Amino acid sequence: MHCDEALVLGLDIGGTSSRALVCDLSGRTRGTGEAAGGNPNSHPADQAVRQITAATRSALAQVDPAAVRGCVVGMAGVSKMADPRFAEQFHRGWAELGLTCPVRTTSDCEVAFAAGTSQPCGTVLIAGTGAIAARIERHRLTTTAGGHGWLLGDEGSAFWLGREAVRAALAACDRGEPLRGLTGAVRARLLPDAVADSPADVRKQLISAVHAAPPIRLAELAPLVTTSSDDTAVDIVRRAAEALADTTARTRPPGDASPIVLAGSLLAPGNPVGDAVRAELVERGLGEPHTAGSGAAGAAWLAALDLTSDPAGLHERLVATT
């Protein structure tokens, strides 16, 4: 490698995984790294920094850190970077890696949008455990819709799907009906050791099981909905898609033709929720949405914007193939 070769570093930091990618300005990947979750909103500061630096160290294994000219770190809750306890440990770990380049920490929404399109403006919809839509202008987040958390909203999210599945099971119990299909799967997951009981007893046991666990654990029931094809599951998926499309629409002025990027586990192609959202957006005249690729690649592309004369070409070479 020539000592004057410019490289960029992108990091996508989540609550369950941390990913890093180093590339050159031709779009060629020069190193990748992965570690456990490093979001400081989900983990203690020292643990978060340890995972972020571990992923970065792996990505830098075959390159000179001094050649890295720019870095973007994407994560939810970027304000945590201002916490002195986290910031001090982060900068100390950064210096130990030998990196001297500027570092910009940005929203995971900006990174997800960049992972789906090279256009500077549009909307990104993210649906996983939670759900949020964001307006992006000149590659920067300007407004959001949704993302209020499980207690106040996140309609269409994995938590919401799980909660609706349990509510459907409870409604069947209230009607004195046997649980089958999706509602039967809910009972089997939440009450694996229960013997056959009356609908009233099952109702009480389901309520107790749900309240005995942290509320966010309901998100773990989402796959029961997306893998079921009975009428109850189909209806929940339909309502989720409508809610997510509503959230998306709140970020867009009338007649807006800018791109929409979909990101998150629920919106992957082949997921019934993702497929239903795509169909709903097209039916509403909002166009065929893009699908986000690698978040780390999106972050690396953002880091390269000030260093390349061909951002669209770099995006095609890097993000579309990573």
pLDDT at position 3, please? 44
Let me know the angle formed at the C-alpha of 236 by 159 and 279, rounded to the nearest 5 degrees: 105
Whole-angstrom distance, CA of residue 274 vs CA of residue 279? 9
The 3-class secondary structure across 81-130, one letter per residue, is HHCHHHHHHHHHHHHHCCCCCCEEEEEHHHHHHHCCCCCCCEEEEEECCC
CA 30 to chain centre: 25
**Angle, helix 182-190 to helix 158-174, in steps of 10 degrees:** 100
pLDDT averaged per 10 residues in sequence order, the chain, 322 residues: 74 88 94 88 80 94 93 79 76 87 91 95 94 95 92 93 98 94 96 82 93 92 96 98 97 93 94 97 93 94 90 86 69
Whole-angstrom distance, CA of residue 55 vs CA of residue 295? 14
| β pairing state of 103-107 and 68-75 | parallel
- The three-state secondary structure class of 248 is helix
Domains and CATH numbers, the chain: 7-115+294-321 (3.30.420.40), 122-152+236-291 (3.30.420.40), 161-224 (no CATH)
Query: Which position has the token pair 């497929």?
Result: 275
pLDDT at position 81, please? 65
Query: Which position has the token pair 């773990």?
Result: 220
pLDDT at position 2, please? 43
φ/ψ region of 123 (left if φ > 0, alpha if ψ in -120 to 50, else beta) reads beta
pTM: 0.89
Output the six-digit token pair for 137: 């202008």
